[in-house]
Chains A and B, each alone.
Chain A
């Protein structure tokens, strides 16, 4: 079952601008992960933030996590046309299961 809600569902920006995507979830988690999917392809892991972390950086990516609000955000700075893809958050629920629960995703379009 899906527990994540992401907004916006779609985002269109110009190259060079920043893109922010948000994710909310419902249960307690071990960590939250962000994935990227190019059209018709598998998912690629971008970044993982643990439940005891509040912010994490990786290159042009910045992820925040607020466990009190059960929400996370993904910021892509200085976007490029190649960043065009769908982005999904996935929660790793507490309880021992290895199953990830995916949000609905944000379709990002970066216009050159």
Chain B
């Protein structure tokens, strides 16, 4: 199956700093990627849809100025958590759907990034 790589796998940062998380599709081109946030022992909450060459589409309640998404190429989407605060500490995961464009296809997930803001 297709491979999605996410980096870093964990990061610790100080309050007020910004953190960038990268999501790469290694063996296929992804015009659309998805960013999720997961709190401990909870499910995935979709934050935004990253669209190559255009603005990301954010879910209701997600601050676009807080969580900056850039999808500048067909293989890379980045999520930047700006002016991070302890409440932003969480597990962030990216995904992309099957590149064939066929309906009824699976999603491929990155390994996730554990962000801890101190």
Residues of chain A at the chain B interface (Cβ within 8 Å): 1-2, 4, 30-31, 33, 35, 40-45, 48, 50, 88, 90, 92, 98-105, 107
Q: Could you say which interface size class chain B belongs to?
A: 20 to 34
User: Which of A2, A90, A99 has the largest number of chain B CB atoms within 10 A?
Assistant: A99
Q: How far is the CA of A35 from the CA of B32 in the complex (A)?
A: 20
Judge whether A45 and B43 touch: CB under 8 Å: no
Contact of B108 (CB < 8 Å), options: A31, A45, A88, A98 = A45
Shortest distance from the beta carbon of A7 to any chain B beta carbon, whole Å: 13
Q: How far is the CA of A26 from the CA of B2 in the complex (A)?
A: 30
Q: How far is the CA of A107 from the CA of B34 in the complex (A)?
A: 24
Q: Give every chain A residue within 8 A of B103 (Cβ-Cβ).
A: 30
Residues of chain B at the chain A interface (Cβ within 8 Å): 1, 4, 6, 32, 34, 41-46, 49, 59-60, 91, 93, 95, 97, 103-112, 114
Contact of B111 (CB < 8 Å), options: A30, A41, A104 = A41
Judge whether B43 and A42 touch: CB under 8 Å: no
Contact of A48 (CB < 8 Å), options: B106, B108, B110, B112 = B106
A and B contact pairs by CB, cutoff 8 A, 12 listed: A2-B43, A40-B91, A42-B112, A43-B44, A45-B106, A88-B43, A90-B107, A98-B34, A98-B97, A100-B34, A104-B42, A105-B42
Judge whether B49 and A42 touch: CB under 8 Å: no
Q: How far is the CA of A105 from the CA of B60 in the complex (A)?
A: 22
Q: Give every chain B residue within 8 A of A98 (Cβ-Cβ).
A: 32, 34, 49, 97
Contact of B44 (CB < 8 Å), options: A33, A40, A102 = A102
Q: Give every chain B residue within 8 A of A88 (Cβ-Cβ).
A: 43-44
Known: A41-B111, A43-B109, A98-B97. A2 touches B104 (CB 8 A): no
